Structure 1
Amino acid sequence: MPVDQHSDPFEERLSAALHEAGGTFDNPGGALAAAGQARGHRMRLRRRAAVAGGAASLALVGVGGALLVPWGGTPAPKPSSVAATGSAGPKTYSADEVVRTLQQLLPKGKFTKSEARGTGEDLPPLAVGVFDDGKGEAAVSVGLDRVPTDTGEFNPSTAVMPCADGGQSGLDSCRTELLPDGSAVTVYQGYEYPDRREDTKAWGADLVTPAGQHVSVIEWNAPAEKGKPVSRPEPPLTTAQLKTLAAASKWRRIIDAIPKEKKPTAATGSSTRPAEMAGWLILRKLSLLLPSDLKRVSYGSQETGYGYMVVDDGKGRSLVQVNVQPDMSDVADQLYGSGSETLADGTRVAVQQGPAEKGGAGAVEWTVDTMRKSGLRVVITAFNAAEQGKAATRAKPALTIEQLRAIALSPRWLSDKD
């Protein structure tokens, strides 16, 4: 079966919505169900892990380990203040102003700031803190960003986090609705770990307005997303309160003050190491390269370097993961041993088939690991299970080794465009 380009409703969704938003905010069904798989698989593919064995922080880790990244993966320029330039411009919001807004919008209780960013920083605004309404401490976060609306007729319902089809595991509830002002909001209740090895719950609301303002609210029933024991049975905010918090007009004013993206110049955009590919772009490329007869069930990504999709060919769901890393030439010899091959253009290829590293009963993973002469590493892995760490749901992964190889070696990965 060839790996061909195609266009379907899912592609249109990715093009219109995930082009900026879907890779920065995971879809709650797939992401909550796969929480931890994204982070774990990606982190062991980073340079340090490659040097150690070669098998294979985020400012704010949200559902499935992803949150905000500047559009196109390039840092947004820091705006000059009005006082410095002497010219009028949009109001900027400091990190303290952003976190104070969160504090003002929360119910009565004690709030302690953990982290925040304003509109004049390299990454989009966010506010993170610990909230206690008298029933126990709980981590709360709000991430703000902008969805592009210049790709044709914009529909917020195609840009907001979708609820997964059918009985996707990992969620207790998920509902998407339209608000009177035309905004779309998804409110969900799930868990930090899909295998429930800890009782940490992750609840959230994801909202997109007709103007493209994007608000993501996440709360936990522990003082931190990970590494802290649960402090209360449930997160403090109800689903109604989550929706109200995400829809607050104050967030929209802050989002409007985020500087528009500018392409980096030679003077400001140079770097000793190439930037990692944005998660939303990895998702877009992966979807374009997957066989057209595969149903896309759910998807998610990290801010950069990693994306996944759960696909179904009618024989059961299969998780497909892609890691994209630039400038990895210095560890090539550790990654590609005697069993690998070198193509005519210098690309190195290694194939692995075996039991899933973190799999349940009968789970296997097939991996094609490639590195171009430029040092660009593309690794694609398919499982015969819908989630990493779970038992097999089918006999084999939905993609053959030949299809995985064709995807990993596609010239699409060499471009910063679709």
Structure 2
Amino acid sequence: MSEPDTFEDDLLYAMSRTGEAFRSERAGLAAGGLDLGRRRWRRRSAAAVVSGAAALALVGTGAFYLSGATGGSPVAAPAEAAAAPATSGAGTAPLTTTPAATAAATKAAAPAAPVTDKEMLAAFQALLPKGEVTEAKGEGTEKSTTPYAQLVFDDGQGKSLMSVSVQRFYKGQEQQRTCPTDLRLANLDSCSVTTLPDGSTLMLSQGYEYPDHRATTKEWWATVSRPDGGQVSFNEWNAAQEKGAPDSRPNPPITLEQAKAIVTDKVWDRAVAAVRYNGIDPAVEDPGVTPDEKQAILAGLLPAGFAVQSRTTHLVTDMYQLTGPDGAKGSISVRLANWSRPFDDPQTQQSMDRGRASQLKDATVLPDGTKVVVNEPGSGSNPKFPYTRAAELHPDGTYIEVDATEGKDLLTLDQLKAIAASPKWQVRK
């Protein structure tokens, strides 16, 4: 593995570990190559599909509405929806956009009327072309931060498992979407990322279920990330199950252009407005210190002969690649956060409080109230943690954590403690 690859691996590990204790449900602070909704849906799919469910016809033109306001247009009953012929999404009445759907995603808005399990499923079905639907299942906004609908669709050319899911993220929470340079290495036939006129980012991709191609099952997906923090994802396979089923057709039935129409349809506006934010608001922990300022502070605290070679930043965590006086190389992560401000969502606050308490349970309390935690590999509250760490929580809410990652012996534990203990680490907001 090359040094840049090792550095990036360490960064992803450090950021994932840093956010491990601070998640509300499954939301992470660092996004991976695949979107969070897709990963969550895949873990849930086997249990969610109902075997032997009765066949359902698709919802008819104009039969389905999800009103954005109390007392708005009626929602067609499931029995009525099942009797109507299928149409494309072009004739589907959109959900009414609520103020929460267009408000800045940095603060939690008053929740819109919830979207039910059946409403999620009916909205999805209304966007599909003509065909038979079986094994249908949905989950609404009251039950999950990733409401979804999934079903097995057959247009007469073979069955296809497909799903749609909705999430909402705070500003700055998502990682920028990019396609890999080497599609073959990424197990993809195609990939594109475009910016839509409304500022949304659309990712379309065609790949395979199994990286080693032990089966030829294909998976195609579309994800749109909206300026309001909403994310709508669509997945489909050329088989009736994600895994363990023979291919039922050469390709999934929905084209990429049709998938784009599904995820960008206005029918999902109210679902985005109603769903709880998935994760924590990065702005709450923002220390008000820029990455450049943090790097300058660190450079002034390093022992003589040490230098910063590169930096990668994600939210309040920075990874620095260092060189020592003898030419040795290594890296450390520095997390500077403000723990004094509360989160808007009580559930998130409770989760954060538990995570922070767990991190600090082995802390030494200094006379001024500062809590100090020092861990060497295999010690402390997380015996599997492989790095040397020094962390301090100050009475004003300043939390500073310094982890030695790659090249663990580059800086000693005492040197890491000295860096973390510096009074120069102070939050500004």
Shorter-chain TM-score category? Answer: 0.3 to 0.5
Q: TM-score, normalised by structure 1?
A: 0.47
Pair member with larger Rg: 2
Bigger relative contact order (CA 8 A; separation at least 6): 1
